[in-house]
Structure 1
Amino acid sequence: MSSTSPLREPSQPSESYESVYRRSIEDPERFWLEAAAAIDWTEPPTRALDDAGAPIYRWFPGARLNTAVNCLDRHVAAGHGERTAIIYDSAVLGTVEHISYADLTDRVARFAGALVSLGVGRGDRVVIYLPMTPEAHVAMLACARIGAVHSVVFGGFAARELAARIDDAKPTVIVTSSGGIEPNRRVEYLPAVAEAVALAQHRVGAVVAKQREGFETRLEDVRASVRDGVPAGVGNEARNETGNVAEAGTRWVDWDEAVAEAEPAAPVDVAATDPLYILYTSGTTGSPKGVVRDHGGHAVALAWTMANIYDVGPGQTMFTASDVGWVVGHSYIVYAPLLVGATTVLYEGKPVGTPDAGAFWRVAAQHGVRSLFTAPTALRAIRKVDPEGDLAREHDLSALQTLFAAGERLDPETQGWIGDLLGVPIVDNWWQTETGWPIGANPVGLEALPVKTGSCTRPTPGYAVEILDGSGQPVEPGVEGNICLRLPLPPGTLTTLWGNDQRFIDSYLSAFEGYYATGDSGLVDEEGYLFVMGRTDDVINVAGHRLSTGALEQALAAHPAVAECAVIGLADPLKGQRASGYVVLKSGVEVEGAAGLEELLAELRATVRTSVGAVADFKQVAVVDALPKTRSGKILRKTMRQMADGEEYVVPSTIEDRSVLDALAPTLRTGP
């Protein structure tokens, strides 16, 4: 690999945000060619953008590199092999493991060799279905090392959902584990994988399984099912013609045995425009929608964000409390920290319950975390259990410089609470699975901008953000509309949808010519601050007045008794739609009898009226025990609305707990 300029240390701003943003928009080719100097290339880029296929663009055409080498080998070669790459902190097992860059490089090379021995080569797909254990990093980076394309599916997805992704990606190999461990249960993976392999039309060559102690189904059980029957827990619909579940043509391989027998694989040179991974968007129904990320643009963009947004560099520690199955995990648990030689915390646990609501603070203190990245939902869960923040005060958080939040809108009430508690900047950064890195954020590594509560601050350099009305015309500052990104999108964003360029164009690029439609509604104020109010289908029309459910939720969340809330728009024969609110109370809040409940509901209605105005006509609100969410923390507002309106609905495969939705169903159907 050719050497380039050294990695940029964080907290070394050389120019203002305004200057950097202007350069990125006015001369993106030069801007991103300069940023590309942070990456090691076997064939450096001579130009940044290929627009021959517009509206589909390619970054760094003609350049070549290896992503795994950029994450691992180059740091070892530079003499940093003993630096910690991963801190695996399993709160559910009570264990902590420090994995050095040298050790991780060796593990990746050996597992890459095992994949090669199973017939995986450049361009082949590998589906990864793993819990939050080091094997996830190893498997993803091993694919990158040999030029294979990985598709991580969130561990615990139902067999039918996994089968749909197998049929779409057509993998040569599936990589899995005995299962995932949660505070009060163990989720068996092997039966689900066996069932998915049998359900899928595509025939998988091999399944590699890492065995963990304490699970009912062992690899031997699945192997035996090929000959004798069905392993425990596998549904009858997946039986093949012989009555077996595990497909006879699929080899079932033990991870440790495969690695022991394999020769370490050398890195494979790939084109910058080659696909690195496929990631299916959460909530997919019908045919899966696989976002494709490339090697070159991905590496350049993520390395840039670590220095300029997250302010983390070589030897410093980042704790991203997400899951490798989501885009946040791909970008900021696995790739970005390793690209810049930092330490990444791989946390197997929950924000509450492992063992309490102080879990994140314990991890941050114990490992000297500089940057903590989590979802607003997690913060609200912590606040609900520990509203005074007593558990945070038990830990030394002096190393923590910034807390970042993304995945769901960060309401001002939660932002203020966590900011007061921690005494560090709270950065609401907004992005999507499709973009892979923030569209809007406070670039604290470049220049810490003044905070505006409720805003994700300014558009990130590289993103030409515009607010358009329904006819595609720009609106005035302060007016809400469709948040769109002028093409071309910057490096590191999706290049297409797997196997379907036309679907990519139809889904994202056709609503407004020359723009990527984010599907979100919001505004940019007079000072250029971006406010994201919610999905465009979360904008409701009450008697001709367009209201953002995000604004209504913001008002409800300001009430001191509310831990979290959701507002949906229901069909109304007179006014078109009416707003209906659902709130979860903080732990310790007492409501005495029917009179106390009605008093609280009256206060909530008044809060919205005071904040939003009488135009909201906000009358319906109910107190509920919990809100239905996806595993990535997004509230299922659309499903709630469909249930309340009596429409047909499909419960997303990404739902965290179906029982929460079932418990809420009577309230939704009868109204608050």
Structure 2
Amino acid sequence: MTASNSKTQYTSYQEVWERSQSDPAEFWLSESEYINWITPPATALSHPSETEWRWFPDGTLNVSANALDRHVDAGRGDAIALIADSAMTGTQERVSYTELRDRVAVFAGALRDLGVVKGDRVLVYCPMTPEAVIAMLACARLGAIHSVVFGGFAANELAARIDDAKPRVIVTSSGGLEPGRQVPYLPLVHRALEICGAESSGVSAVVVADRAHVPGTAADFTGSAGAGATWYDWDTIVAAATPADPVPVHANDPLYILYTSGTTGSPKGIVRDSGGYAVALSWVMRGIYDFGPGDTIFTASDVGWVVGHSFIVYGPLLAGGTTVLYEGKPVGTPDPGSFWRVLAETGAKILSTAPTALRAIRREDPELREREKYDLSRLRAIYLAGERMDPETWHWVRDGIGVPVVDHWWQTETGWPICANPLGIEELTVKAGSTTVPMPGFDVRIVDSAGVDITAPDVEGNIAIKLPLPPGGMLEIWGSRQRFLDSYLAAFPGYYASGDAGHFDEDGHLFVMGRTDDVINVAGHRLSTGSLEEVLTQHPAVAECAVIGIHDPLKGQRAAGFVTVSRGTRIPNEELAAALIALIRDRVGPVASFRDVTVVNRLPKTRSGKILRKTMRQIVDGEAYTVPATIEDSGVIDEFIAALAQTVSAPPTRAVTLPR
């Protein structure tokens, strides 16, 4: 492999951003020199049409080798690559670059022995243990495409992703751990395969990492043969495998598929490329995080989300630093000082987390007394993502911890921050409630409903990004280019539609105010209201329903359901509410935080039959609202408010909340 020693130095954020806009090809080709290429790209950008572009189309590389092998080859094999900290088991494991490279290479060999080749999909359904990271990097080593599914999803959600990605192999664990309980994974995998059907799923093998040392999570293969795939023990196949060499892939070959909710209820498989993603993350670690060899980052997320992909796994390892893999919660494992303990014990320079986590800590420890027990002298900054950070909590953590707090904005689709405070270049003025400024390659505009550019200070509208997206942005939606076009590029021709609304201020700082569609954000997890509604309507008593995202002081939003019942239904409202809450937990999982059900006589609708979800949300959240002139019957609003008074804020709703 080859790598250039030339490094471009920048003196200011403005210089970086302007160069990325005036000559994006030259800018990103220069940045690509930070990556070890097998075939270095001579072309930065292929842009044959407004809706089609590819970065570094003539380059070849291996992302896993860039994350591991090159650091070992450079003499840094003894440096710590991964610190696996489990607050659930009270253990901590430190893995060097050499050890991680070797474990990845051998597991890649085991996958190869199971028939996995370049371009195959491998679904990873694991808790926050080293096996999850090893499986991801082993897929990248083979040129296979991994699709990581968050372990909190129920069997039918897992089945939907299996059915779409058609993985050859599933890599899973005997179980995960939550405070006070164990979560067995194998019954969920088995049920998901049954839902898909052996022939249509395409799964030939399931590899199980047995957590036999953890009480209640030992693997039980009973009944597994009936799921159509052959089940293997991780340790057994690894013992019989030989290391696999890195497989060259083209820069535009997919590295992974990561599913995000769609407004139709059908998950969208976001496809990430290999070369563009590596170049983008290399820039982010330097330009935004000021992170490199010798530094440690604690990203308190899950590898099932894009934050985990970019800033637990690929970003820190591409940069040659140390990444922390944390199995635990911000509070309750065992106390609200959990994050501060991890930061102190690992010497982390950066904490990356979601506002929800900080709100949970604040609720339990408003005076930050737990923080006083730990030495956080190496912490330089806190980065927040996943949802909008409320100014009150922002001030609380900034004043209490005493380091810059960067509320940066990005999406699964973009792969890395659209807007941030680039501390690796210069620390810009911070404004509570703002995501600061656009990063290189992102030309962010405010457009009206017709797609007209209305960007001006304090003018709110749809946030859109001028095409093409920079390296690392999504390539497409797995299996459906038309859905990619319809979902992101059709609304405002020439732009990527972010689905968010907001405005710039007079200093060019962006304020993201919320979603413009029916996808809600629960503690940083995007959930489709349509998919939740589909589950509710499966109950025989439900005639019609609507799910909206209502304000939650901890999670940002939570899902609330409003249902009408079929004529002749005799089930009491409290009993129906409890059944629907249980149904959502079974089919979607506790991640939905679904605990509010209101039975109404009618749902507010327009004369054309459109349910007035925005008006409903404004009423529930106590905001000012205007009843649309197109409403079918204005009297239904009074009925809706009366139902809320009896259900949402009254004891019956709390009485049917299921325990976590």
Q: Please, which of 331, 344, 353 is the counterpart of residue 310 of structure 2?
A: 331
Q: Please, which of 562, 565, 575 is the counterpart of residue 643 of structure 1?
A: 562
- 1:222-233 matches, within 5 Å, as 222=222, 224-226=223-225
Q: Please, which of 450, 465, 470 is the counterpart of residue 490 of structure 1?
A: 470
Note closer, same or farther for the CA distance 1:645–1:448 as it changes in structure 2 (3 Å cut). farther
Residue in structure 2 matched with residue 250 of structure 1 by the alignment: 229
Residue in structure 2 matched with residue 619 of structure 1 by the alignment: none
Residue in structure 2 matched with residue 604 of structure 1 by the alignment: none
Residue in structure 2 matched with residue 606 of structure 1 by the alignment: none
Residue in structure 2 matched with residue 243 of structure 1 by the alignment: none
Residue in structure 2 matched with residue 207 of structure 1 by the alignment: 206
Residue in structure 2 matched with residue 415 of structure 1 by the alignment: 394
Q: Identity of counterpart residues, as a percentage? A: 57
Residue in structure 1 matched with residue 457 of structure 2 by the alignment: 477
Separation of aligned partners in 1, 2:137 and 2:207: 16
Q: Is the 8 A contact 2:446 2:502 kept in 1?
A: yes
Deviation by residue 1:515-540 (Cα, 9 ceiling, x = unmatched): 0000000001121100000001489x
1:643 alignment partner, SS class: strand
Q: Aligned letter for 1:134? A: P
> Aligned-pair distance for 1:197?
1.4
Q: Please, which of 157, 173, 176 is the counterpart of residue 169 of structure 2?
A: 173
Aligned residues: 561
1:164 aligns with 2:144: no
> Aligned-pair distance for 1:211?
0.3
Residue in structure 2 matched with residue 70 of structure 1 by the alignment: 66
Q: Aligned letter for 2:147? A: S
- 1:45-56 matches, within 5 Å, as 45-56=41-52
Note closer, same or farther for the CA distance 1:187–1:634 as it changes in structure 2 (3 Å cut). farther
Residue in structure 1 matched with residue 102 of structure 2 by the alignment: 106
> Aligned-pair distance for 1:643?
2.5
Q: Aligned letter for 2:274? A: H
2:112 alignment partner, SS class: helix
Q: Please, which of 371, 380, 390 is the counterpart of residue 359 of structure 2?
A: 380
Residue in structure 1 matched with residue 510 of structure 2 by the alignment: 530
Q: Is the 8 A contact 1:207 1:253 kept in 2?
A: yes
Q: Aligned letter for 1:205? A: S
Separation of aligned partners in 2, 1:658 and 1:538: 14
Q: Is the 8 A contact 1:307 1:313 kept in 2?
A: yes
Separation of aligned partners in 2, 1:220 and 1:538: 40
1:519 aligns with 2:518: no
Q: Aligned letter for 2:318? A: L
Q: Please, which of 40, 44, 54 is the counterpart of residue 44 of structure 1?
A: 40
> Aligned-pair distance for 1:461?
1.2
- 1:243-322 matches, within 5 Å, as 246-247=226-227, 249-282=228-261, 286-322=265-301
Return 5+ residue gaps in structure 2 as ranges. Answer: 522-528, 530-547, 567-579, 600-642, 650-660
Q: Aligned letter for 1:164? A: A
Separation of aligned partners in 2, 1:485 and 1:78: 38
> Aligned-pair distance for 1:125?
0.3
1:263 alignment partner, SS class: coil
Residue in structure 2 matched with residue 656 of structure 1 by the alignment: 590
When the two chains are superposed, the root-mean-square deviation of aligned CA atoms in Å is 2.6
> Aligned-pair distance for 1:218?
5.1
Return 5+ residue gaps in structure 1 as ranges. Answer: 227-245, 540-548, 551-567, 569-578, 585-626, 628-632
> Aligned-pair distance for 1:5?
2.2
Separation of aligned partners in 1, 2:397 and 2:18: 32
Note closer, same or farther for the CA distance 1:93–1:438 as it changes in structure 2 (3 Å cut). same
Q: Please, which of 315, 320, 344 is the counterpart of residue 323 of structure 2?
A: 344
Separation of aligned partners in 1, 2:220 and 2:584: 34
Residue in structure 1 matched with residue 18 of structure 2 by the alignment: 22
Residue in structure 2 matched with residue 233 of structure 1 by the alignment: none
Q: Please, which of 135, 152, 162 is the counterpart of residue 148 of structure 2?
A: 152
User: 465-474 or 344-353: which moved more?
Assistant: 465-474
Separation of aligned partners in 1, 2:470 and 2:54: 10
Note closer, same or farther for the CA distance 1:192–1:55 as it changes in structure 2 (3 Å cut). same
- 1:108-127 matches, within 5 Å, as 108-127=104-123
Separation of aligned partners in 2, 1:142 and 1:257: 17
Note closer, same or farther for the CA distance 1:329–1:458 as it changes in structure 2 (3 Å cut). same
- 1:599-610 matches, within 5 Å, as none
Separation of aligned partners in 1, 2:121 and 2:645: 42
> Aligned-pair distance for 1:3?
2.9
Q: Please, which of 341, 366, 376 is the counterpart of residue 397 of structure 1?
A: 376
> Aligned-pair distance for 1:656?
3.2
Q: Is the 8 A contact 1:351 1:359 kept in 2?
A: yes
Separation of aligned partners in 2, 1:89 and 1:660: 29
TM-score computed with the length of structure 2 as normaliser: 0.81
TM-score computed with the length of structure 1 as normaliser: 0.79
Separation of aligned partners in 1, 2:296 and 2:147: 26
Q: Aligned letter for 2:416? A: W
Separation of aligned partners in 1, 2:417 and 2:46: 23
User: 184-193 or 645-654: which moved more?
Assistant: 645-654
Q: Is the 8 A contact 1:333 1:344 kept in 2?
A: yes
1:462 aligns with 2:441: yes
Q: Please, which of 187, 193, 197 is the counterpart of residue 189 of structure 2?
A: 193
Separation of aligned partners in 1, 2:173 and 2:62: 27
Note closer, same or farther for the CA distance 1:395–1:654 as it changes in structure 2 (3 Å cut). farther
Q: Is the 8 A contact 1:84 1:101 kept in 2?
A: yes
1:454 alignment partner, SS class: coil
Note closer, same or farther for the CA distance 1:225–1:439 as it changes in structure 2 (3 Å cut). closer
Deviation by residue 1:583-614 (Cα, 9 ceiling, x = unmatched): 65xxxxxxxxxxxxxxxxxxxxxxxxxxxxxx
Residue in structure 1 matched with residue 77 of structure 2 by the alignment: 81
2:109 alignment partner, SS class: helix
1:43 alignment partner, SS class: coil
Residue in structure 1 matched with residue 653 of structure 2 by the alignment: none
1:504 alignment partner, SS class: helix
> Aligned-pair distance for 1:659?
6.8
Q: Aligned letter for 1:441? A: A
Residue in structure 2 matched with residue 510 of structure 1 by the alignment: 490
Q: Is the 8 A contact 1:219 1:252 kept in 2?
A: no
Separation of aligned partners in 2, 1:335 and 1:58: 20
